[in-house]
Structure 1
Amino acid sequence: MNRLSAALLLSVPMAIVAPYAAAAQHPAQSQVQQNIDTILKIARNASLSEAQKIKQIESYADRYLDYERISAMAVGAPWKNFSAKQKTDFTAAFKDMIISMYAHSALVGAADAQVKILPNKMTANGNRFDVFSELQTKSGSKYEVAYQLYKSGSVYKIYNFRVDGASLVTIYRNQFSELIKQKGIDGAIAAVKSKSLKKQ
């Protein structure tokens, strides 16, 4: 399991947890725990096909993931040059690409992964929060995953996550930068739609 698959395994939409962890102390931690518990029920439901699981997880995750902010951070500085339609198109394509590339491996890893939230390691900076958890795979490998969230109304929106310090939004940034230089914004969007980027 590579780092991004591990991240997807831990994040919404692919968050998996061991039997219920210690009660979270902060509302952001409580929500992440709730997200994990809900996704766990879907991911380990033997009556559902893989496609059904992915569809249900995606529908649930739409409430908690800020896909446009994730996309903007992954693109970086060139994002300011995107039109409103280009931003919408890129966000949809990036979301679809990530799900297509990593959903299967994340679900396969769900059966044996164990996860615990680290309640004493949370950080806060104004309206931004980092909630930490630890994933252990069947082989014994451990990953620390930090969910980065901000408060939006009654929920906390996830806009990034890091696996052992490696950030999702920076994983593809160099590829996006090079694509935009070579093909322009529309060409980059087309490449993401065709899922022709390298799997990280």
Structure 2
Amino acid sequence: MNRFLSRRTFSAWVLGAACALGMLHAVHAVHAAEEPADVFVKRVSGDILDAIKADKSIHSGDVNKIGLLVDQRVMPNVNFLRMTASAVGPGWRQATPEQQKRLQEEFKTLLVRTYAGALGQVNDQTIVVKPLRAAADDKEVLVRTEVRGKGDPIQLDYRVEKSADGAWKVYNMNVMGIWLVENYKTQFAQEINAKGVDGLIASLSDRNKTNARASK
């Protein structure tokens, strides 16, 4: 996470990531082709906020519990392959299939541990979805929202795509002008330029180990 983000902005990152990565089981309740992207975001945002507030272990940043939530309910509803490939940038095409697998694993662990340590900041926030500017047949849509709670509203936008089966999937998010993928892309490019793809994998692995020790 960008070290220059303020505590309040980072709280919005936490909330946004939880919602963007938290496309829960409710997506199956309505046929995806019948549900506009903004309706999807509004409904599941409420679901994930309720889940965080209701589960004390998730709210307190229990990494194992959050990791289970991610694996069972989150990952099937996110195009994480696209998210990781975009964050890695040109280096992704240089990577072998095994390296690509490791990059996805380490990137997911990084995101889980980053947000796990700050979920306690999520309390009374709500998300308000702005009017959608998209055609009915658009396959990629920008959904603009605001996080509202104490203080001024915080911009929170999602880029979602419609997959082959008609379900919406999140592949990027933006908080106050900072896109998650682009934020990591700069960091990852520096690692790859200096040490190659294996160097980036090693760096992510080391960072995850450090975060794991810190959480204990």
TM-score tier after normalising by the smaller chain length: 0.7 to 0.9
Q: Which residue pairs with 1:167 in the alignment?
A: 179
Say if 1:137 and 1:194 are closer, same or farther in 2 by CA, change over 3 A. Answer: farther
Give a deviation string over 1:10-60, Cα, whole Å, max 9, x none. 233368xxxxxxxxx962122212321321232011454542652353132
Structure 1 gaps of 5+ residues are: 16-24
**What does residue 20 of structure 1 align with?**
none
> For 1:141, what is the secondary structure of its paired residue?
coil
Q: What is the Cα deviation at residue 145 of structure 1?
A: 1.1
Asked whether 1:55 is paired with 2:55, we answer: no
The answer to whether the 8 Å contact 2:21/2:170 transfers is no
Q: Contact 1:148–1:158 (CA<8 Å) still a contact in 2?
A: yes
Q: Does 1:39 align with 2:45?
A: no
* Equivalent of 2:126 in 114, 123, 126: 114
Aligned residue in 1 for 2:39: 30
CA positional deviation for 1:80 = 1.1
Task: Give, as a single letter, the amino acid of the residue that structure 1 aligns with 2:21.
Answer: P
C-alpha separation in 2, matches of 1:5 and 1:89: 28
Q: Return the match for 1:157 from 151, 154, 169.
A: 169
Deviates more, 1:164-173 or 1:107-116: 107-116
Change (3 A) 1:82 1:46: closer
Check if 1:133 corresponds to 2:152: no
TM-score by length of 1: 0.81
Tell me, yes or no, if the aligned pair for 2:140 and 2:160 is still in contact at 8 Å.
Answer: yes
Two-structure CA RMSD over aligned residues (Å) = 2.7
Structure 2 equivalent of residue 78 of structure 1 = 91
- The question of whether the paired residues in 2 share the 8 Å contact of 1:39 and 1:57 is answered with no
Return the alpha-carbon distance in structure 1 between the equivalents of residues 144 and 95 of structure 2: 33
**Count of aligned positions:** 186
Point out the structure with the larger strand share.
Answer: 1
With over 3 angstroms needed to count, the CA separation of the structure-2 counterparts of 1:47 and 1:9, relative to structure 1, is closer
> Residue 39 and residue 121 in structure 1: after superposition, are their counterparts in 2 closer, same or farther (change >3 A)?
same
Q: Sequence identity, in percent?
A: 26
Query: What is the TM-score normalised by the length of structure 2?
Result: 0.75
Counterpart in the other structure of 2:112: 99
